[in-house]
């Protein structure tokens, strides 16, 4: 059974600081997705990582995938208040035709 | 504009009643999914369908039913057998190629049992 673990589950950080969210998964997969959810809202796709070594960047967020280590990271550079949200990683269960989600990381950026 | 439409956005149900949540997409996606989200938790898969007239149980299918009579529509019925139905329900679709592909989500339906 595929398990997806995110850490930390809660992150409070000051504006302007850098931090990394980690996503570990338990079985072979080379497809990983990052989503953002604002309170009471649906999920918005951030990054699609489809191969080992994939790196994607959008603004202050950068995501990477290491399939050998079964690890993805979401790096936040110089955080701003607008990044406050819950971030989920999801892994495509190989040949399973379904995504398994992590529990989510609640990010709060303080001024 | 293409997208996924869920309705109703908010729904209140008395215990013992069945309710149906609607999900319609005009993205021409083959696959559709229903997820449940409880406060402070991740998403759990209820049912999914990869083609019309076919669907599979997800991890928490008990107390739920679905149908897929049209490519565009994937309604979810929360039955009285679901013991704790209060949750946020999200419908999604994708075009599986190699693997599941990126999921696109609707705005969600929040169900509260009174």
- HEC assignment per residue over chain B: CCCEEEECCEEEECCCCCEEEEEEECCCCCEEEEEEECCCCCEEEEEEEEECCEEEECCCCCCEEECCCECCECCEEECCCCCCCCEEEEEEEECCECECCCCEECCCEEEEEC
* A81 touches B at CB < 8 Å: no
- What is the pLDDT, as a whole number, of residue A52? 87
Give B83→chain A minimum CA distance, Å. Answer: 22
- Answer yes or no: are the C-beta atoms of B113 and B103 closer than 8 Å: no
Contacts 24+ apart (CB under 8 A), B55-64: B58/A98, B58/B33, B58/B34, B60/B36, B64/B34
Percentage of chain B with pLDDT > 90?
Answer: 70
Is the pLDDT confidence value at A98 over 90? no
Query: How many CB pairs below 8 Å do chains A and B form together?
Result: 53
Mean pLDDT of A77-82: 96
Mean pLDDT of A51-56: 90
Place of tokens 């739920």: B64
Map residue A82 onto helix, strand or coil.
Answer: helix
Provide the pLDDT confidence category of residue A68 given band limits of 50, 70 and 90: very high
Contacts of B50 in chain A (CB under 8 A): 97
- What is the pLDDT, as a whole number, of residue B112? 94
CA nearest to A41 within chain B: B107
- Cα(A57)–Cα(A55) distance, integer angstroms: 7
Contacts of A102 in chain B (CB under 8 A): 42
Give A2→chain B minimum CA distance, Å. Answer: 12
- Cα(B38)–Cα(A81) distance, integer angstroms: 25
CA nearest to A46 within chain B: B102
Containing H/E element for A42? none
- What is the pLDDT, as a whole number, of residue B39? 84
* A2 touches B at CB < 8 Å: no
Contact state of A99 with B45 under an 8 Å Cβ cutoff: yes
- What is the pLDDT, as a whole number, of residue A45? 92
pLDDT tens across the length of chain B (114 residues):
679 999 999 999 898 899 999 999 999 998 999 999 998 788 999 999 989 999 999 999 999 999 999 999 999 999 988 889 999 999 999 876 655 578 899 999 999 998
Provide the pLDDT confidence category of residue A75 given band limits of 50, 70 and 90: very high
Using one digit for the tens of pLDDT, what is the confidence trace for A17-48?
Answer: 999 999 999 988 778 999 999 988 999 999 99
Provide the pLDDT confidence category of residue A83 given band limits of 50, 70 and 90: very high
Q: Which residues lie closer than 8 Å to A18 by C-beta, 6 or more apart?
A: A75, A76, A77, A78, A79
* A63 touches B at CB < 8 Å: no
- What is the pLDDT, as a whole number, of residue A33? 93
- What is the pLDDT, as a whole number, of residue B1? 67
Q: Which of B35, B84, B82 is CA-nearest to residue B63?
A: B82
Contact state of A33 with B42 under an 8 Å Cβ cutoff: no
- What is the pLDDT, as a whole number, of residue B71? 96
Percentage of chain A with pLDDT > 70?
Answer: 96
Is the pLDDT confidence value at A111 over 70? yes
CA nearest to A95 within chain B: B99
* A33 touches B at CB < 8 Å: yes
- What is the pLDDT, as a whole number, of residue A97? 64
């Amino acid at each position: 059974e595929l398990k997806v673990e995110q850490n930390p589950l809660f992150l409070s950080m000051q504006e302007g600081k850098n931090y990394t969210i980690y996503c570990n998964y338990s079985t072979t997969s080379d497809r990983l997705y990052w989503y953002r959810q604002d309170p009471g809202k649906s999920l918005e796709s951030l990054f699609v990582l489809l191969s080992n070594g994939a790196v994607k960047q959008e603004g202050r967020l950068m995501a990477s995938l290491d399939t050998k280590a079964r690890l993805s990271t979401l790096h936040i550079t110089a955080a701003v208040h607008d990044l406050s949200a819950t971030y989920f990683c999801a892994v495509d269960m190989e040949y399973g035709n379904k995504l398994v989600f992590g529990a989510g990381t609640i990010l709060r950026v303080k001024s | 504009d293409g997208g996924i439409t869920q309705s109703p956005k908010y729904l209140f149900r008395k215990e013992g009643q069945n309710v149906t949540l609607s999900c319609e997409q005009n993205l021409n996606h083959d696959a559709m999914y229903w997820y449940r989200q409880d406060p402070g938790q991740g998403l759990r898969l209820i049912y999914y369908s990869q083609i019309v007239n076919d669907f599979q149980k997800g991890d928490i299918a008990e107390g739920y039913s679905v149908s897929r009579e049209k490519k565009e529509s994937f309604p979810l019925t929360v039955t009285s057998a679901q013991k704790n139905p209060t949750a946020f329900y999200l419908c999604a679709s994708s075009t599986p190629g190699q693997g599941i592909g990126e999921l696109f989500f609707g705005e969600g339906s929040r169900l509260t049992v009174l």
